[in-house]
């Protein structure tokens, strides 16, 4: 049977974050999320959406004609059908990445999928939801992201990098400022002062288009 997923939007834009930043990418935004981070910029994906079969989703992805596909949310892993969706995309020859909060298990995800796991800092209000067992499941090709809202978040994230050796476990550890709370130049200064082995990133899509959905 062709599984169905609840989808908020499927669109093509420039990747705004992580390793493939700037590349044309098709985004599949799944509906629903069990977390409520106070700075969330995709709250419109918490509910609604439309039911689409895997075949219908793949047809839409093929129409955009780009090799990179990102499965995102919401929290995509909240739908069990997200795994067969990613497997289908890999089999179809796409370069697939997954954006996930890290609050749900990343076990049994197709090894060809590059995982971008967003460990929630205390400032998100959801750090208690982090499933730290996920760290041991990360591959070298995966990435770990921290959204920094304060100096306290920075120190917390720095401790996680050191405690779990994240800079040695994955290709990239990403520190991203919450624009409304930390000036990018301030976060840059902290990283440089500590010579922290992380990559600072700014969300390109927000710089270009703000929080407008579908871009």
Q: Please report, in tens digits, the pLDDT of each residue of the chain (215 residues total).
A: 589 999 999 999 999 999 999 999 999 999 999 999 999 989 999 999 999 999 999 999 999 999 999 999 999 999 999 999 999 999 999 999 999 998 999 999 999 999 999 999 999 999 999 999 999 999 999 999 999 999 999 999 999 999 999 999 999 999 999 988 999 999 999 999 999 999 999 988 888 887 777 66
- Residue 129 is part of a domain; what is its CATH number? 3.20.20.70
Residue 165 lies in a domain: yes
Per the DSSP assignment, residues forming a β-bridge with 30 are 7
pLDDT value for 179 = 82
Residue 66 lies in a domain: yes
Residue 214 lies in a domain: no
Domain count, the chain: 1
Residue 155 lies in a domain: yes
Q: Where are the alpha helices (DSSP H) in 25-179?
A: 54-64, 82-91, 151-164, 166-169
Residue 17 lies in a domain: yes
pTM of the model: 0.94
Write out the residue range of the structural domain in which residue 120 sits.
4-209
Residue 215 lies in a domain: no
Q: Where are the alpha helices (DSSP H) in 4-120?
A: 54-64, 82-91
Q: Is the peptide bond before 74 cis (omega within 30 degrees of 0)?
A: yes
């Amino acid at each position: 049977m062709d599984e169905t997923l609840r989808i908020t939007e499927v669109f093509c834009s420039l990747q705004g974050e992580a390793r493939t930043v700037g590349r044309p990418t098709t985004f599949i935004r799944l509906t629903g999320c069990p977390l409520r981070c106070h700075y969330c910029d995709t709250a419109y994906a918490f509910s609604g959406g439309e039911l689409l079969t895997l075949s219908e989703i793949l047809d839409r992805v093929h129409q955009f004609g780009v090799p990179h596909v990102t499965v995102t949310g919401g929290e995509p892993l909240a739908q069990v059908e997200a795994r067969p969706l990613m497997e289908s995309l890999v089999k179809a020859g796409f370069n697939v990445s997954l954006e996930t909060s890290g609050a749900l298990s990343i076990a049994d995800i197709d090894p060809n999928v590059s995982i971008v796991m967003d460990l929630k800092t205390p400032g998100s209000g959801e750090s208690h939801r982090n499933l730290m067992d996920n760290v041991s499941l990360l591959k070298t090709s995966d990435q770990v992201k921290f959204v920094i809202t304060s100096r306290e978040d920075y120190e917390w994230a720095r401790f996680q990098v050191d405690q779990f050796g994240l800079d040695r476990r994955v290709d990239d550890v990403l520190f991203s400022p919450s624009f409304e709370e930390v000036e990018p130049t301030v976060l840059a200064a902290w990283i440089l002062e500590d010579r922290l082995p992380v990559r600072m990133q700014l969300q390109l899509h927000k710089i270009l288009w703000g929080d407008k959905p579908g871009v």
